[in-house]
Chain A
Amino acid sequence: MDERAEALAEGLSRYLTRQRRADWTVTGGARIPGGASRETWRFVAGSGGEQHGIIVRIDPETSLIDTDRALEHAAIDAAYRAGIPAPEPLYLEEDASFIGRPFSIMAEVAGCSASAESLPPEHLEKIGEQKWRWLGRIAALDPAELGLESVMTLPDPQACAMEQVDYWAGVIRDDEIHPNPIAEAAVRWLRRNPPPPPQKLSLVHGDYRTGNFLFSPEGEIRAILDWEMAHIGDPLEDLAWSLDPLWSFNQPQLAGQLIPHREAIAHWEAASGLKVDPHAFRWWRVFASVKGIGIWISSSEDYHHGAAKLPILAIAGWLMTDRQERILCDYLSPHSQHLFPEATA
């Protein structure tokens, strides 16, 4: 283990020993690549003859997304209790004295991968069906029964879409390094064409996409990850985000590099008990690209101003903005050749 891993292991050993009132030793630290919103590590925690893999999520100095760790922890906890595949949440610690920053600990889901590059070609359909059925199950949950109203704002159904637009338009304006004429045109379009209110208010994961769930080599989805943007809102927000062409940019005929868009929607409808209104969905898919640009601009701003030097932040800011702008032109330009056809058409 390097110096950083050793320091973390020592602090975590002290922490678990105090929490469990028994001697626990934490070893084998390895930083997990890709986690741009939190610093994520894998360790082994042992006591007596027991050994458990744990995942430690540490607050970053800066990240792609400015989020509330308590809210993320509450969303994972609610999903886990409701039977949604999610990592078992173990601890949330706000005290920075143990490892220098606040952190959370989850049980490791071993033997799985989250990388889109590792998707087993023979199981794409199986994974795709589960992916959108689980999202439908999340949409079907009642946020009040999950106890989420105590940690998340319950929006006015008539206003929840525009509240999201206001938030992300603000992020774009606040964090942009240069003006963004395509994003601005899209924001104006969203404001001119408001969607109908949601069929129901749901727990919205906020970043539900290929890359944010763990699957086994046999193609079973074992855990849905990265709940840091979870909130209560229109379930179409998650569906549109999950179907954003960005996640399958070089294979636009497939949703999330898995299955055709119509099949994904059919699985979601079957599991959620909701029907996709094409007008509302069209609005939410434009919104998904605006939100994406907000995230990419924000990460780019962190990188350019030196708050973080992770190359993934710069790449997100440059490459993803490029692709998201092309998607928005495809949706909104009167001269579009519509390379990304409407899934509900």
Chain B
Amino acid sequence: MIPKPGESIAHICARIATDLLPKASDDYAAADLAFLTVMLSMVQQDFERFADVHVREHDEMCAIFRGARDRLPPDLQARVDAVLGHDQDTSLLASALNARADVTTRLLIDVHAWAEGEAGPEAAWDVDLDGEIWRFLDRYAANRTYEAAL
């Protein structure tokens, strides 16, 4: 295994920027190489945080589902139960984390849409759920922030 993959990517970026980019044959090739360094630095950032973000977000979404479950309509309850039932699926392979996140995020979207559309006798509760989901989405956006020189 590569001992320090993040650092290796950073070294590749530096090599492109300092050695290859000055030798680019024209403006187009130079711009292409500059974009490649930006792209690699973003890959490096995701490499470091990927598993942490996915595991943390999964736990946070599950907490929202647990709190909301008993008030949700039966179809959403069934999907919540299915997601919570697989909560112990702990493979950290990127492909497994991505697949799990797709299911939980799609459920979150549908729970959010339901909360927005259910303003009735339980409106205050729905507003709270909407606010809780937006708090999660604020963190979700922050978790994906890239540092990039653009």
Contacts and interface: CB of A to CB of B under 8 A. Distances in A.
B12 interface: no
Contacts, number: 93
Interface string A28-48: 001111100000000000000
A333 B116 contact: no
Interface string A156-171: 0000000000000000
Interface stretch (A98-106, A128-136, A311-319): A311-319
Contacts of A188: 113, 116
Q: Is the interface of B mostly helix, strand, loop or mixed?
A: helix
Interface stretch (A55-63, A66-74, A257-265, A321-329): A321-329
Interface in B38-73: 38-39, 42
A325 B141 contact: yes
Contacts of A322: 141, 144-146
A178 B106 CA distance: 9
B38 A315 contact: yes
Interface stretch (B3-11, B78-86, B88-96, B128-136): B128-136
Q: Is the interface of A mostly helix, strand, loop or mixed?
A: helix
Contact of B36 (A32, A33, A184, A311): A311
A334 interface: yes
Interface string B114-141: 0010000000000000110011011011
B17 interface: no
A192 interface: yes
Contacts of A319: 38, 42, 146, 148, 150
A21 interface: no
Given A31-B28, A319-B150, A333-B137, A179 B39 contact: no
Given A178-B102, A315-B38, A30 B28 contact: yes
Given A178-B98, A188-B113, A315-B35, A335 B27 contact: no
A331 B36 CA distance: 32
A121 interface: no
List 4 A-B pairs, minimum CB-CB distance, nearest first. A33-B31, A311-B35, A31-B28, A179-B105
Interface of A: 2, 30-34, 178-179, 181-182, 184-185, 188, 192, 310-312, 314-315, 318-319, 321-322, 325-326, 328-329, 332-336
Interface of B: 25-28, 30-32, 35-36, 38-39, 42, 98, 101-102, 105-106, 108-109, 112-113, 116, 130-131, 134-135, 137-138, 140-142, 144-146, 148, 150
22 contacts: A30-B28, A33-B30, A178-B105, A179-B105, A179-B106, A181-B105, A181-B140, A184-B113, A185-B134, A185-B137, A310-B35, A311-B35, A311-B38, A315-B39, A315-B42, A322-B144, A326-B142, A329-B134, A329-B137, A329-B138, A335-B135, A336-B138
